[in-house]
């Protein structure tokens, strides 16, 4: 399963890129607004750091015409830019057009199998299903992910299922079990994936025992 990092923070992206852990980046207007820097400049800097798909989102969701114009603008910034399109009737028109033009899309704000199916039929490259926001409503967000993975395989769609709105390591475990193609993960959650207290305890004991016995490499 590929890891995308879900952030627009350049320090976080640099850190995970150095760890060799990042296959791509997802941003959204909220994440960009937090950084207080320009959209184009941020996306271009991210593209210079990560050799993989970098999602940049359009904002005129009620007009296919305006969205298409924005899509062409962000796609022109770098070959690795993937245009993030909010799901909806207008968005689907745009996805279909961009697919014809060979421009990759990340279909965002999806919560159900029926939405994912429509996005796959339109040729969406990545199908972003949000899990955390559904869990917040005391409903199983991963259900749509499991169903979408089955759907993509059953009907041989080229689209990849991207688990978005991940909040904790259990979402990553469940994404792996579901056979999702990608999980986009916040920096703090990526860090947690390394941790296990038994790893720390075990390492402490190995080091102690080695030193007490006076062992070395000679």
| Residues annotated catalytic, as ranges | 84
Query: Please, what is the minimum distance in Å from the beta carbon of residue 133 to ligand E4P?
Result: 5
Among the listed ranges 34-42, 124-132, 175-183, 196-204, the one in contact with ligand E4P (CB under 6 A) is 124-132
Task: Round to whole Å and give the CA distance between 8 and 39.
Answer: 9
User: Smallest distance, Å, CB 29 to ligand E4P?
Assistant: 9
Provide the CA 113 distance to its chain's centre, in angstroms. Answer: 18
Select from 186, 178, 108, 104 the least CA-distant residue to 140: 178
* Pure H helices in the chain: 10-18, 29-35, 39-49, 64-75, 89-100, 113-121, 132-135, 142-154, 169-178, 187-192, 197-212
Return the residue of 52, 132, 169, 179 that touches ligand E4P, per CB under 6 A. Answer: 132
Q: Is 179 in the site for ligand E4P (CB under 6 A)?
A: no
Of 7-15, 130-138, 145-153, 205-213, the window that binds ligand E4P (rule: CB under 6 A) is 130-138
26 binds ligand E4P (CB under 6 A): yes
Where does this chain touch ligand E4P (CB under 6 A) — which range of 34-42, 43-51, 129-137, 208-216? 129-137
- Regarding 90 and contact with ligand E4P (CB under 6 A), the answer is no
Q: How far is the CB of 12 from ligand E4P (least distance, A)?
A: 14
Among 97, 105, 108, 159, binds ligand E4P (CB under 6 A): 108
CA distances from 78 to 6, 62, 100, 148, 163 (A): 19, 26, 19, 29, 24
Interaction between residue 111 and ligand E4P (CB under 6 A): no
Q: Please list, in sequence order, all residues whose beta carbon lies within 8 angstroms of the beta carbon of residue 118, skipping any fewer than 6 positions away.
A: 87, 92
Smallest CA-to-CA distance from 23 within 52, 56, 48 is with 52
40, 44, 133, 181: residue in contact with ligand E4P (rule CB under 6 A): 133
Select 3 or 130, whichever has its Cβ closest to ligand E4P.
Answer: 130
Residue 202 Cβ vs ligand E4P, minimum distance, rounded to whole Å: 33
Q: Does 160 bind ligand E4P (CB under 6 A)?
A: no
Residue 1 to residue 147: CA distance in whole angstroms: 17
- Assign 21 to helix, strand or coil: coil
Interface with ligand E4P (CB under 6 A): 6, 26, 28, 108, 128, 130, 132-133, 164-165, 184
């Amino acid at each position: 399963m590929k890891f995308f990092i879900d952030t627009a923070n350049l320090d976080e992206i640099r850190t995970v890129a150095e760890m060799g852990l990042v296959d791509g980046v997802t941003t959204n207007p909220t994440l960009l607004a937090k950084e207080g820097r320009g959209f184009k400049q941020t996306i271009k800097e991210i593209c210079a750091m990560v050799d993989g798909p970098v999602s940049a989102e359009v904002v005129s969701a009620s007009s296919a015409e305006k969205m298409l114009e924005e899509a062409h603008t962000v796609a022109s910034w770098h070959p690795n830019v993937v245009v993030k399109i909010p799901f909806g009737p207008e968005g689907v028109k745009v996805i279909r057009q961009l697919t014809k033009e060979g421009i990759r899309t990340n279909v965002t704000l999806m919560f159900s199998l029926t939405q994912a199916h429509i996005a796959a039929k339109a040729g969406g490259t990545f199908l972003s299903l949000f899990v955390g926001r559904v869990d917040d409503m005391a409903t199983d967000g991963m259900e749509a992910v499991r169903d979408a993975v089955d759907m993509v395989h059953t009907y041989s769609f080229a689209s990849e299922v991207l688990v978005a709105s991940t909040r904790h390591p259990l979402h990553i475990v469940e994404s792996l079990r579901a056979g999702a193609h990608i999980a986009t993960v916040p920096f703090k959650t990526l860090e947690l994936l390394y941790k296990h207290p038994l790893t720390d305890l075990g390492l402490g004991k190995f080091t102690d025992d080695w030193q007490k016995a006076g062992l070395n490499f000679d």
